[in-house]
Amino acid sequence: MARSAWLRWLLGDSPDDDRGLDPGKGLTALRWAAFIGLHLGCLGVLWVGASATAVTVATVLYLARMAFITGFYHRYFAHRAFRTSRAFQLVMALLGCTAGQRGPLWWAGHHRRHHAHADGPQDVHSPARVGLFHSHMGWFLDPANYATPWGYIRDWRRFPELVWVNRLEALPFLGLAGLAYGLGEALAAWAPAAGTNGFQMLVWGFFVSTVALYHGTYTINSLAHRWGRRRFATADDSRNNGLLSLVTLGEGWHNNHHFAPSSACQGFRRWEVDPTYWLLRGLAALGLIWDLRPIPGRVHRPAPSPAGAAEGQR
């Protein structure tokens, strides 16, 4: 890819273009190489071994970044399920980028497109339409989906800082890799009893944690539209799956979500565990966010017909 094309991609993916800017096939090899490289990096455990410290850090980073995706990217940027300040909005965008799932506006735009066309011809990750592999992760690597769909996120256009975070989304992610390595080296020097070092922490805290995070979040696009129970007759194939809710901190109550997308809580029954909502309640108690949208009263009424349910997905 020519240098001018790289600069055009960096500087030209602006909200002035409703179509976004497709960086073209020149990025395809790079994205696939990075994706495969992350998976191959997990094999590093064969050389660096394991320690309780490294595994604990990997688990914490998995849970934290899953919460950033579910609470910030999904429930805030995609569905505006609560309100916050402009400063904390920027913090949420930066933290979400550490998950390596592209920028907040790219993520929100594609997710809104999914809701607008769920399991229809224009849904790029419907397992019924494109198959399980493509719905799980193939769509994420498809050049047709590289551009930010600005037409679906007109409400975020007036925040130039979010546009820049969206363009430079790889920097927080790569920064996390550096922090993981640095933490391991610091522990090796100052707390050798922790039994870890820079490379071990890089492998576990960055590679293993990230790959687990990728496939955890991907299950909602693929498995949560194939296996589970349908409480509501929505005009799509969304399902409630308790196991996936544990993996994704509450996102597995997917049929609930498609019935009432703007609700800050996706677990509509007391037994439907939704840790992301607990996090949001905690942030609200601290005054960082407010006006969490409640579960709508219609949830407790008889389920509508599929035709009527379509209104609930917009």
pLDDT number for residue 292: 98
Highest mean pLDDT among 23-32, 193-202, 291-300: 193-202
Whether pLDDT at 258 is above 90: yes
Q: Residue 289 domain-assigned?
A: yes
Query: What's the pTM value of the predicted model, to 2 decimals?
Result: 0.90
Residue with more model confidence, 146 or 72: 72
Range of the domain at 273: 63-313
Q: Residue 46 domain-assigned?
A: no
117, burial (CB in 10 Å: exposed 0-12, middle 13-18, buried 19+): middle
**Residue 30's pLDDT band (boundaries 50, 70, 90)?**
confident
Q: Residue 54 domain-assigned?
A: no
Distance CA 100, CA 68 (A): 11
Distance CA 103, CA 165 (A): 7
DSSP string, 4-47: HHHHHHHHH--TT-TT-----GGGHHHHHHHHHHHHHHGGGHHH
**Residue 299's pLDDT band (boundaries 50, 70, 90)?**
confident
pLDDT number for residue 312: 40
Percent share of the chain, pLDDT over 90: 82
- Which of 72-86, 205-219, 290-304 has the weakest average pLDDT? 290-304
pLDDT number for residue 310: 42
pLDDT number for residue 50: 98
Whether pLDDT at 17 is above 50: no
Distance CA 53, CA 59 (A): 10
Q: Residue 58 domain-assigned?
A: no
Eight-class DSSP state of 300: G
Average pLDDT, the chain: 90
List pLDDT tens digits, range 199-253: 999 999 999 999 999 999 999 999 999 999 999 999 999 999 999 999 999 999 9
Whether pLDDT at 10 is above 80: no
- Number of domains into which the chain is organized: 1
